[in-house]
Structure 1
Amino acid sequence: MNHQDHINDLHKKLDLLLKKQEAFSKEVAELQNELKLLKAYEKQQPVEKKTLVEEPTFKDTISTNAENRKGLFRDTYHRGLGGVCSGLGNYFGMNRYVVRFLWILLSLFFGLGFFLYIILWMAVPKSKTTSHNPIKEPIKIPAQKPLKISNELEKFIGENLINKIGIAILIIGVAIGAKYSIENDLISPLTRIILGYLLGLGLLGLSIKLKATYENFSAVLVSGSMAIFYFLTYAAYSYYELIPQLITFALMVIFTVFTVIAALQYNKQIIAHIGLVGAYAVPFLLSDNSGNTYVLFSYMAIINTGILVLAFKKYWKPLYYVSFVLTWLIYVSWFVFSYIKTDDFTTALTFASIFFILFYITFLVYKLIKKESFETLDIILLLTNSFVFYGLGFVILNDHETGHQLLGLFTLCNAMLHFIVSVVIFKLKLADKNLYYLIAGLVLVFITMAIPVQLDGHWVTLLWVGEAALLFWIGRTKQVPIYEYLSYPLMALATLSLYQDWTHIYIDYYLFDGSEKITPLLNSHFFNTVLFIAGFGFIHYLQNHNVYKTAILSKKKWSKWLSIVVSAIIISTVYFGFFFEIRHYFNSLYQESILTINQYERYSNGDILNFKTIWLLIYSMVFVSALSMINIKRIKNKFLGHLNLGLNGLVVLAFLFSGLYMLSELRESYLNEIPSKYYQISSFHIIIRYISFVFLAITLLVSYKYLQASFIKLTHKTLFGVLLQITAIWILSSELINLMDLSGSIQSHKLGLSISWGLYALFLIVLGIWKKKKYLRIGAIALFSLTLIKLFFYDIVHLETLSKTVVFVSLGILLLIISFLYNKFKNSISDDVED
């Protein structure tokens, strides 16, 4: 190795040592830095565990420590309003609903819950905290125990709760002192107001000074100072008349603006709520009963615009909710108690439209710009805003001479507005499809309502059924259970509303004064019924379509019962819709038939009421027969089949008991000459009898078809046979009486009935032996026994000798024939096997 090589080697070794020294110095610096951090940490809390864990920097540990331990925070995720009750529930390990219930009791019985809730809302922080970025190289620090609950509670009370209570007590103390000074004239009114303003300014100045270091405490002081300013200004104007109305109004507007600015600066929503409540209170506190509603509503519209912009900018949706409720509450209160249609028509309609559009735009802005998901509360807000406006507008126009003729146009304008919004959302794909479906559904609802509204229809019923069909459609087609749940109470409301409409429209003849004459079937009331049926028919279609399955749990059982209920509503509505039209038509005819002969004589055509009963029974038989054939040929539902058979039997019995009696009344009217002097009596009084017999036969025939249907699986058919034979003997007896009365016989109820019953009993014996039907033979014996009882206790008393001879001989021969048949076919009778 030469001299130069040796020098180069020394340089390399020197460079290596320098690099090692640099690395060593860096490591020493890091160890010194870590030692300083550990010493600083030990000053706050001693190390209790030796286990080392990987953590971010000490600064980040301190910032996230409050979030990791179990502290008192507002639970905004499960909040009902501000998340206070949910946060207390999490803190103490209680169910949040139990905490809410206890809080309501505290509010109702002690009056403290509301104020304490507001204080906690301002004081308690949200559960979500700001995260800090850790340094790249984590260091090892000792793990610490969570702080005890008692320390957390003490900290919360000392740092947050006491100052709220203190400011409230301070305001109460000022009020008590002011009251005492007023009652004892210790201080002049002007001095009182000045001192109050000075106190408010003092609190405001203190809050500004403390904002940098004690922001929460400063926010409480600002709220208290603004409350003092509001009420002192009101007192100076109202009680002492120290300030003119215009200046008072300007001051309160300034206070409101300042409160909103403070809310933005502090980022405290509760301060904005104080400003909102104060802003709405201004016109009422300063009212001089001048009745200038235009100024009031203009002021409210301006305030709403500012507040809603603030709510959108800071994403403080509770401000939107409070503004929504207060605005419509104030408007509706004014409309109910102070509205005068001759003076306030334009003002009422204009500002109802402004408020509706303002809240509608705000709702859409949240959904389209903020990209919020669509929730249940959104449905409630949208529907409430739409239908409160429509209901108010409807009442305003309906009470106006010209507006009454524009109800249909007003309804179409509502539909057009929603249509424009739905088209914009659809074309630009701005929001959740569920929002589009709901608004598009509103378009259909209002278009559907426009026709009956213009025809003076009962629009409330259509409103309910339209909403129900819309929500059910969205729930099924988009698999959103909440929509389907919301549709069920609306279905019930729609059904009850329709039945209530019927009770008001289709009244009985003894209440009907003839003032409302409607054309059967071609009237708005019946059109409402048709639309109701169409709405529920649409629901039934979705319910039974295989593509649209319900997203509700336990869907099989639920779907079955829903199908039954909806089907029952449709069937009953179809039946009663035509039923009431027929009844109302005959009631109208009856009222028109009333004749006043003189002061003491008044006639009415009672035959119309008899015809009404007959035609209603004929319609009922047509309806149950048609329902039977539809079920037999297409539906083939076992449950509907059993129900239908029961309805068929009820209709047949109703005709036997009531229909035949009304037919006999028509026959008596036809034979009586007195009514024919005033009303036309025709042969139709008799012909209607045989028309009704035809439909009775059809009803019995379709009932027999049910017995042969395989899907209904009836194993015991005796009941139908009994009903058929009872119907036959009843009709034959009625027809015999009818023919004998028309022929002028006076013994139709005696001689003729006894012989006919005996002959029919013989017929039943023969048929029972031939068909091997035991119940027919037993029925024949029972009928013959009834005939003999009638013979000995009724006929024998009133009949002449010749007639008695004929009856006794005839019945005796019949009995002998029956006995002969029993003896001849006794072997086959003993071997009968009943079906």
Structure 2
Amino acid sequence: MAENHEKLDALLKKLEALMEKQEAFSKEVKALQNEIHHLKGSNPIPAENQRTTPTPSAQSPKTPLRPFRQAKKATADMDWDLPPKPKKSKTDFEKFIGENLANKIGIIIVVIGVAIGAKYTIDNQLIGPLTRIIMGYVVGIGLLGVAIKLKEKYENFSAVLLSGAMAILYFITFAAFSFYGLIGLSLTFALMVIFTAFTVLAALHYNKQVIAHIGLVGAYAVPFLLSDGSGNVKILFAYMAIINLGILSIAIKKYWKALYYSAFGLTWLIYLVWFLIDYAQAEHFGLALTFPSLFFVIFYLAFLAYKFLQREQFSSSDIIMLLSNAFIYYGLGYAILSNHTETAHFLGLFTLANAVIHFIVSVPIYRRKQADRNLFFLAIGLVITFITLAFPVQWDGNWVTLLWTSEAALLFWIGRTKRVAFYEKLSYPLMVIAFFSLIHDWSIVYGAYFLEEEANHFSPLLNIHFLSSMLFLVGFGWIYQVQANTSSSPAWKPSYGTAKLLAFGIPAVLLFTTYYAFLAEINAYWQQLYVISEVEMKSAMDTIEMFRNEDLIKFKIIWGINYTLFFLTGLAFLNGKKYRNRSLAWTNLTLIGLALLMFLSGGLYALSELRVSYLAPPHPEYIEYGVRNILVRYFSFIFVALALGAAFAYQKMPFMKKSFDMAFDFGLHLTLIWTLSSELIHWMDMAGWSRQYKLGLSIFWGVYALVLIGIGIWKNKKYLRISAIVLFGLTLLKLFFYDIIHLDTIAKTIVFVSLGILLLIISFLYNKFKHLIADETNH
């Protein structure tokens, strides 16, 4: 207890010291308030109105909370009589319109008025060309003088006047050269350069974007205001290039986005309109390719200048502008070159040249470590994009797919191993492009319409198409290996859904490509045999008819199914031994089920058609029908057995966790009864008893139902016994509604007696083993 009292005394002393400091601060605040009121001319706050913080008296140890209550009350009672915050004044729209907006609208109207007046004098021949030009220069220079005179006192107004003066000087010079020929080309360009340099210096000196807007961007309208339809487009584009050089000069010091956007939009819009309406290939080819290249370089440099020199981070709008500039130029260049017969084969080189330009830009950005890292990645992204585009532009088919695959693999490897998220993200769309390119190649190469031409046939597995598929697999296999080895330290962390998609997508592409690459070769092999089996035959009417060996299409179907079953069996073995992936296992089991269903429906039908061709050859004089029509049946059964074995093996693997005994048994017995029924029909047909297959099937189904019940009792599986009862019920329905109509008396007798005996045996089994069934039910 003594220790607690000592601690309490110490805490109270600290609290008393803090309260004294608080009171001193309160007095200091009041003193400052009085001084503020005095300076404002107000009366000081009366002493009696000044609240001070009471000094705490010595407290008894029994009341330790009183100082805290006093402190709280003193803080609440303090009079923070500070001067009120000034209210935000509302925008004075009158002042904005009168001082800011009116002068800009006014100077624009003046420029338009001068242009309209000049055009009127031109159209009506009121004054001579020389007089018109001199008067224009007088107006421009006079307006410039007024602007300079007013700069000291009215800077904003002066800036607007100066910009208008420069616009007038621009279009007067343009008119003097383009319309009247009063001055030569050298002098025209010299004056344009002088005007542009002066406008740039004035914009920087005033630090006013309006000068650049009206003086430079406004100058774009001049040729159209004064145009007489002569179509001197070379001068127009040269004029625009000079203006854009002025904007580039400003961009070195200022990054006025509105100015850049305006010049960018107007330049490309004017060019595109001309290209779509007036471009003539024979006359304008060189001009059409030169000026967009110049515009592209100017805008590219204008974009990079300020970002690079000032180390400013770039925004989404900057990305849009840079990409727009790159792809507008590329699109125009592609259109110009592709329409010219002599340059169409240089399209790939032109695309690669675009990649080189962006790579040259990326080098100084990379070396300047202080520059925005994303700017470097953007430039490299454009390099990769144009390299990617160069493949399909210059080459066709398999080479494009392989180059895209290699590029995707390289980018993914750099992104993962060097932990550069940008490269990894860029590799994913390239993987998608490469995969769909491969599918496109397959559709062309392995399409039946392509294989119809005998000249297009190729050796199975020993052809460039299969080789390209294997090289694609090598690329994606490497990607998968890198992904597996670096899964714990990715360059970026995608969302859960994206991560699952990426983890599933690459193995899925690998498996699908591996499967289809061999399947396509199998199909192509049989399709080619079918095409070359075509022979001529004389009909009964002495006309020549063409026919082919249709059995080859049946072989194509059967071996496609056999390969599918084999592939899925191999996948199950590999997963069980190495990966032990539960998701892959369930997918594999689903695919095995679908493949077995495909065999039971389509495969067994194709096998039966081959048997019919063997027993009754349709064209034995032209085509040889051998024993392979029969043997292929048992090869197929081997693959079916392997697939069922793979499913059974999954059933015993501990990583599966969830049992699927019922589904497996259902699939197994459905496959067995369907296949054995087909085999029964097959041998009855081979023996010449094809008309008795109805009798045989009914008895066989009854026997199989009996076997199922026996297995169900032995294994304590109720669902097997119920399935057997259903099967026997279907057999009885077949007997009464189908067999009884088509069978003769002896056959009916055999069926009825056989099925009756089977029913009695089933009943006996239920009675003999009812204690086992009852125990199973109770359990």
Same fold (TM over 0.5): yes
- For residues 270 and 95 of structure 2, the distance between their equivalents in structure 1, rounded to whole angstroms, comes to 42
User: Does residue 1:223 correspond to 2:167, yes or no?
Assistant: no
CA shift for structure 1 position 761: 2.0
Contact 2:454 2:532 in 1 (8 A): yes
- For residues 500 and 389 of structure 1, the distance between their equivalents in structure 2, rounded to whole angstroms, comes to 29
- For residues 517 and 192 of structure 2, the distance between their equivalents in structure 1, rounded to whole angstroms, comes to 61
Amino acid aligned to 1:652 = L
User: Does residue 1:818 correspond to 2:758, yes or no?
Assistant: no
User: Does residue 1:719 correspond to 2:642, yes or no?
Assistant: no
Question: Could you tell me which of 702, 709, 732 is aligned with 1:758?
Answer: 702
Per-residue displacement from partner, 1:91-123 (whole Å, max 9, x unpaired)? xxxxxxxxxxxxxxxxxxxxxxxxxxxxxxxxx
User: Does residue 1:258 correspond to 2:177, yes or no?
Assistant: no
Amino acid aligned to 1:752 = G
Tell me whether 563-572 or 684-693 shows the greater mean CA deviation.
563-572
Pair 766,395 (structure 1): closer, same or farther in 2 beyond 3 Å: farther
Match of 2:154 in 1: 214
User: Does residue 1:791 correspond to 2:735, yes or no?
Assistant: yes
Contact 2:197 2:246 in 1 (8 A): no
User: Does residue 1:563 correspond to 2:507, yes or no?
Assistant: no
State, as a whole percentage, how many aligned pairs show the same letter. Answer: 50
Per-residue displacement from partner, 1:500-534 (whole Å, max 9, x unpaired)? 67666654549977786677664469838964994
Match of 2:47 in 1: none
CA shift for structure 1 position 541: 4.6
CA shift for structure 1 position 145: 6.7
Match of 1:831 in 2: 775
**How many aligned residue pairs are there?**
695
SS in 2 for 1:244: coil
Contact 1:540 1:567 in 2 (8 A): no
Match of 2:143 in 1: 203
CA shift for structure 1 position 548: 3.1
Contact 1:729 1:760 in 2 (8 A): yes
CA shift for structure 1 position 160: 1.7
Pair 456,395 (structure 1): closer, same or farther in 2 beyond 3 Å: farther
CA shift for structure 1 position 722: 0.4
Tell me whether 671-680 or 520-529 shows the greater mean CA deviation.
520-529
- For residues 603 and 691 of structure 1, the distance between their equivalents in structure 2, rounded to whole angstroms, comes to 28
Pair 525,427 (structure 1): closer, same or farther in 2 beyond 3 Å: farther
Per-residue displacement from partner, 1:641-688 (whole Å, max 9, x unpaired)? 333322222222122112222222333333443344444544333333
Match of 2:99 in 1: 159
- For residues 440 and 613 of structure 1, the distance between their equivalents in structure 2, rounded to whole angstroms, comes to 48
The alignment yields a C-alpha RMSD, in angstroms, of 5.4
Contact 1:449 1:462 in 2 (8 A): no
> Matches of residues 606-645 of structure 1 in structure 2 within 5 Å?
606-645=550-589
- For residues 834 and 746 of structure 1, the distance between their equivalents in structure 2, rounded to whole angstroms, comes to 48
User: Does residue 1:649 correspond to 2:593, yes or no?
Assistant: yes
Amino acid aligned to 2:635 = I
Pair 396,686 (structure 1): closer, same or farther in 2 beyond 3 Å: farther
Match of 1:93 in 2: none
CA shift for structure 1 position 768: 1.7
Question: Is there any run of 5+ residues in structure 1 with no aligned partner, and where?
Answer: 1-45, 53-141
CA shift for structure 1 position 728: 0.9
- For residues 274 and 388 of structure 2, the distance between their equivalents in structure 1, rounded to whole angstroms, comes to 31
- For residues 290 and 125 of structure 2, the distance between their equivalents in structure 1, rounded to whole angstroms, comes to 51
Contact 2:163 2:212 in 1 (8 A): no
Pair 670,779 (structure 1): closer, same or farther in 2 beyond 3 Å: same
Per-residue displacement from partner, 1:474-516 (whole Å, max 9, x unpaired)? 8777878788777777776776676667666654549977786
Contact 1:629 1:702 in 2 (8 A): yes
Pair 543,786 (structure 1): closer, same or farther in 2 beyond 3 Å: same
Match of 1:545 in 2: 486
- For residues 662 and 606 of structure 1, the distance between their equivalents in structure 2, rounded to whole angstroms, comes to 11
Pair 144,543 (structure 1): closer, same or farther in 2 beyond 3 Å: farther
Per-residue displacement from partner, 1:388-440 (whole Å, max 9, x unpaired)? 77777777777777867777777777777777776777678685665666666
Match of 1:115 in 2: none
User: Does residue 1:527 correspond to 2:527, yes or no?
Assistant: no
CA shift for structure 1 position 462: 7.9
Amino acid aligned to 2:489 = Y
Pair 485,707 (structure 1): closer, same or farther in 2 beyond 3 Å: same
Match of 1:244 in 2: 181
- For residues 417 and 263 of structure 2, the distance between their equivalents in structure 1, rounded to whole angstroms, comes to 34
Contact 1:587 1:609 in 2 (8 A): yes
Pair 307,182 (structure 1): closer, same or farther in 2 beyond 3 Å: closer
Q: TM-score, normalised by structure 1?
A: 0.66
Match of 2:79 in 1: none
- For residues 258 and 470 of structure 2, the distance between their equivalents in structure 1, rounded to whole angstroms, comes to 41
Q: TM-score, normalised by structure 2?
A: 0.70
SS in 2 for 1:149: coil
Contact 1:669 1:675 in 2 (8 A): no
Amino acid aligned to 1:822 = Y
Per-residue displacement from partner, 1:692-733 (whole Å, max 9, x unpaired)? 332222222222222223233223420121011101111111
Match of 1:773 in 2: 717
Pair 321,611 (structure 1): closer, same or farther in 2 beyond 3 Å: farther
Pair 378,748 (structure 1): closer, same or farther in 2 beyond 3 Å: farther
Match of 1:168 in 2: 108
- For residues 681 and 220 of structure 1, the distance between their equivalents in structure 2, rounded to whole angstroms, comes to 96
Question: Could you tell me which of 662, 667, 671 is aligned with 2:611?
Answer: 667
Amino acid aligned to 1:548 = S
Amino acid aligned to 2:714 = W
- For residues 335 and 584 of structure 1, the distance between their equivalents in structure 2, rounded to whole angstroms, comes to 48
Pair 347,634 (structure 1): closer, same or farther in 2 beyond 3 Å: farther
Pair 797,597 (structure 1): closer, same or farther in 2 beyond 3 Å: same
User: Does residue 1:707 correspond to 2:651, yes or no?
Assistant: yes
Pair 350,644 (structure 1): closer, same or farther in 2 beyond 3 Å: farther
Match of 2:89 in 1: 149
- For residues 378 and 535 of structure 1, the distance between their equivalents in structure 2, rounded to whole angstroms, comes to 34
